[in-house]
Amino acid sequence: MEKLIIPGAVKNLRTDSAGRYSVSDQKQEEIKFCRNCVISNQRPRIDFNTNGECSACRFARIKHSAIDWAEREKMLEDFLNKYRRNDGKYDCIVPVSGGKDSSFVAYNLKYKYGMHPLTVTFSPLRWTEVGWNNYRAFVDAGFDNELFIPNTYAYRLLTRLSTEYLGDPFQPFIYGVHSYPIRLAVKYDIPLIFYGENGEVEYGGDMKNAGEFAHNASSDIKEHYFKGMMPQDWEKYGVKKEYIQPFEMPALEEVEEKKIKCTWMSFFKKWVPQENFYFAVENTGFQPNPERTEGTYSKYASIDDKFDGFHFYFAFLKFGIGRATSDAAHEIRDKHITREEGIALVKKYDGEFPKKYFQEFLEFIDVPENKFLEIADKFRNTWLWEKKDGAWRLKNQIK
């Protein structure tokens, strides 16, 4: 694979002694765990009340007992009536991967509500075999789809830089998966984009949109998903404009002129990932991983990309929160497992190193193993981690 040329100006991006661009989302405070689930207060933008409940658990209680979902169904039908077209043209965009959640959204919009969605896919860094097969099975279930694959060199370069400076190998994919649907909405004059769940309220984060069915396509995305670093910001540090362009958001003026609305299906339908899995298996041919996913106990979530595990591994380093914690917390809130069961799963699987595709990932970002380990270690915060007998361990673990 071609050797990456790292722009010299990118060194100016560093702002702290460890060489990290941003630690604004990392909390140097007493570590607390939610009394109901297994999440800690180290998750970005989450908050705990005086009873020790996280914001995601408080929202889950409302979701399961206080929302009239029959009324939300009527709201959805009335909402879609404003956008549904009868001239054969697309009336909404659904970002899809072929996974359980996006399949649930697209299938319902088309076959239950009579919409004509254009499904759009921003390519993962490297497809897994099961991910590619699920994507093809989804399209074969009767959907028009636009797949965008960016310049591989540009994808690799931004992944390398995001790993080293942002502590998230997935940042370029996150840029693309949010920007690309909005670019197509502007290009094709399709005013409605339907996402799956509002991750901020479902997993714990900014609650300002908890009672809203839409979000701001510019400010919310930048704050919640782009870590304050827009794709075009990389140009200031020497990355060529042509490498950045596939990941950029359209101008805010264009989005506002087209009156594009971004909404979540989870506002209108009770969002239960396990039920979405069963639905996708039955209706779009979705298949889970043949074995447990590294870092967790499940087989059906986030299985499209070979390098997905490194996103969760870096989250574990930065926040002490890995993939098993996120999975178990949601299943506790959905009453599929108890808190005690969740704690046991977290202790067994959280922070497991994603070794299956490690060598392939190192080649992709053009980094030797010792350099990768140096990069990883600089994202371990002193209030979370300590080294004893030559091994790193979390100072505070859930009990």
Separation of alpha carbons 85 and 71, rounded Å = 24
- Asked whether the predicted pLDDT for residue 21 surpasses 80, the reply is no
Mean pLDDT of the chain: 91
Q: Which residues have CB under 8 Å from 219's CB, separation 6+?
A: none
CA-closest candidate to residue 56, choices 228, 214, 198 = 198
CA-closest candidate to residue 202, choices 55, 88, 65 = 55
What's 306-341 look like in SS3? CCHHHHHHHHHHHHCCCHHHHHHHHHHHCCCCCHHH
What pLDDT is stored for residue 258 in this prediction? Answer: 87
Q: Which residue has the higher pLDDT, 14 or 120?
A: 120
Tell me: the pLDDT tens digits for 94-116? 999 999 999 999 999 999 999 99
Q: Which residues have CB under 8 Å from 216's CB, separation 6+?
A: none
pLDDT average, residue stretch 309-315: 96
Lowest-pLDDT choice from 18-22, 124-128, 292-296: 18-22
Separation of alpha carbons 315 and 38, rounded Å = 15
What pLDDT is stored for residue 302 in this prediction? Answer: 85
Radius of gyration of the chain (CA): 21
- Asked whether the predicted pLDDT for residue 398 surpasses 50, the reply is yes
Separation of alpha carbons 289 and 307, rounded Å = 15
- Asked whether the predicted pLDDT for residue 328 surpasses 90, the reply is yes
- Asked whether the predicted pLDDT for residue 149 surpasses 90, the reply is yes
What pLDDT is stored for residue 206 in this prediction? Answer: 73
Beta strand 117-122 pairing with 92-95: parallel
Tell me: the pLDDT tens digits for 241-283? 999 999 998 888 888 888 899 999 999 999 999 999 999 999 9
What pLDDT is stored for residue 255 in this prediction? Answer: 85
Fold category of 8-394 in CATH? Rossmann fold (3.40.50)
CB 70 within 8 A of CB 47: no
Tell me: the pLDDT tens digits for 65-81? 999 999 999 999 999 99
Share of the chain above pLDDT 70, in %: 91
pLDDT average, residue stretch 345-367: 97
- Asked whether the predicted pLDDT for residue 23 surpasses 50, the reply is no
Domain ranges of the chain: 8-394
What pLDDT is stored for residue 212 in this prediction? Answer: 66
- Asked whether the predicted pLDDT for residue 17 surpasses 70, the reply is no
